Amino acid sequence: MNRIVTKSVSEHLADWVEQLTPDQLDPAMERAALATVVDVLGLCVAARDADYTLSTLAAFEDQGDCTVIAHAARLSPVAAALINGTAAHGEDFDNTFEGCPVHSGAVVVPAVLALAEKHKLDGARTMLAVAAGIEIMCRLGLVSDKSVHQAGFHPTAVLGTFAATVAAAIVTGLKGRAIVNSLGVAGSLASGIIEYLADGSSTKRLHAGWAAQSGLRAAALGGAGFTGPVTVFEGTHGFFSAFAPSIKPDFSLLLDGLSKKWVGSQLAFKPYACGTMVQPYIDCALALRKQGIQADAIAEITCAVGEGTVHRLWEPLALKQTPPTAYAAKFSTPYCMAVAFMDGNAGLAQFTETKIKEPAVLKLAAKIGFEVDPKNEYPKNYTGHLRAKLTDGQVIELHQPHLRGGSRDPLSRAELEQKFLKNTAFGGWSAARGEALLAYANQLPQQPSLAGFAAVAGGKTHG
């Protein structure tokens, strides 16, 4: 009897990675990948003096030739990827994906730039590695849906390790079995729990950088001949059994149409510096503000929400209404709505230790609660809905039908570049220096190598 031999998921992915060339990218994916690079660079500059960035920089000092963005240090690829990834994700202002809120840019771009700089890779293949990493991370997100969060893990952290591994395999030119082994190793290096929600501590910030460096390590091990399980994704004790036990994974969402349909081209870029699913509710709060209503005229606000968002963004409600840290405030829908209503914005300036203690903001946040809407489309679509009851008895309902900045209402290129320049200015850079980095990033696909990257992205620490 002939036994039918089928390929594992990782073997299918290895075939795709090995044959992938820049001409297989469609224009939408090219634009998304380049926009992601621009977004990440600006965010790294914005966070250059943040305590979590400086702590990570102090903890990983292994020397090398790779740029730590907005710093003079030149470190090893894994250290640079870790620090830059942590900085990029630190303010939760980085891009996301509708279908599963994974932050591909903060993982993939730091991993690729560090390794491409070391290997003197040209811009075209650098962008190919960025695009491929984004694509795999988004497709894994579609497979995962809500299950990774439900199991207590951070999708960006655990799915990102595979994405960074794929990107690193492209940069270093791994083939066949070496790619399979690298993915197998990546499954054991993936980590990241979501207990940061309890006290607003910084471990979520670390997850993107940790995934980036873990992917580089996995690819290095696989490329050196270290073996990993072929069935890392689908096995009895594989990744999805461990990190997403509530589902039977549909791997067609990962494998079907690779290079024909680039799902990563539908990335969402955030207009506000906080959690993804909060953003449509901020738009509702801003729409209420535009009606000229004063905060004291509001008796209560009730938001209709998706059940899958409650444990991260709404409960315990008293804690969310008075977040203990500026970072915790980013994952508090009541705070984000209240500060946006009071200030007319929810940018980086709205998430400081001083701002989260403002009495007027907290007074309004205490009036904001929720109810679960069983018809809410999360995670397929991120919507917002509020019902405001005023002190005079009037009731106002407002609805935001989609995520602004997402596939249904994308930010323009001009808006993305404006965001970039605001972020570099927030980080203390001069307008000229921000413009120079933006110009370099926009020309990255045409660069013969990353030889000039350090001069525009690192070096000086001020000005």
Looking at the DSSP bridge assignments, the partners of residue 390 are 298
Q: Which domains does the chain have, with CATH numbers?
A: 9-270+423-457 (1.10.4100.10), 276-400 (3.30.1330.120)
Please enumerate in sequence order all residues whose Cβ is within 8 A of that of 59, keeping only pairs 6 or more positions apart, or say none: none
φ and ψ of 8, to 5 deg:
-75, 170
CA separation for the pair 273, 388 (Å, rounded): 24
Sign of the alpha-carbon dihedral angle for 287, 400, 28, 455:
positive
Q: How far apart are the first and last CA of the chain?
A: 73
CA separation for the pair 308, 288 (Å, rounded): 25
Q: Do 144 and 155 meet the contact criterion of CB atoms below 8 Å apart?
A: yes
CA distances for 175 relative to 9, 164, 225, 432, angstroms = 16, 16, 11, 42
pTM over 0.85: yes
CA separation for the pair 457, 127 (Å, rounded): 17
Enter the tokens of residue 194.
């979501």
Render 304-368 in DSSP notation, one character per residue. EE-GGGHHHHTSSHHHHHS-SSHHHHTT-HHHHHHHHHHHS--SGGGSSTTGGG-HHHHHHHTTE
What angle is formed at CA 346 by the lines to CA 381 and CA 286, rounded to 5 degrees?
A: 70
Task: Identify the pLDDT of residue 1.
Answer: 38
Question: DSSP code of 75?
Answer: E
CA distances for 246 relative to 146, 185, 294, 302, angstroms = 9, 23, 45, 30
Task: Identify the pLDDT of residue 227.
Answer: 98
Task: Identify the pLDDT of residue 459.
Answer: 66
Q: What is the pLDDT along the chain (463 residues), one digit of tens a residue?
A: 344 458 999 999 999 999 999 999 999 999 999 999 999 999 999 999 999 999 999 999 899 999 999 999 999 999 999 999 999 999 999 999 998 999 999 999 999 999 999 999 999 999 999 999 999 999 999 999 999 999 999 999 999 999 999 999 999 999 999 999 999 999 999 999 999 989 999 999 999 999 999 999 999 999 999 999 999 999 999 999 999 999 999 999 999 999 999 999 999 999 999 999 999 999 999 999 999 999 999 999 999 999 999 999 999 999 999 999 999 999 999 999 999 999 999 999 999 999 999 999 999 999 999 999 999 999 889 999 999 999 999 999 999 999 999 999 999 999 999 999 999 999 999 999 999 999 999 999 999 999 999 999 996 544 4
Task: Identify the pLDDT of residue 460.
Answer: 57
Task: Identify the pLDDT of residue 219.
Answer: 98
Please enumerate in sequence order all residues whose Cβ is within 8 A of that of 403, keeping only pairs 6 or more positions apart, or say none: 98, 268, 276, 279, 280, 381, 382, 409
Please enumerate in sequence order all residues whose Cβ is within 8 A of that of 7, keeping only pairs 6 or more positions apart, or say none: 15
Task: Identify the pLDDT of residue 3.
Answer: 42
Enter the tokens of residue 294.
């004063």
The H or E element that residue 396 is part of is strand 395-400
Task: Identify the pLDDT of residue 374.
Answer: 96
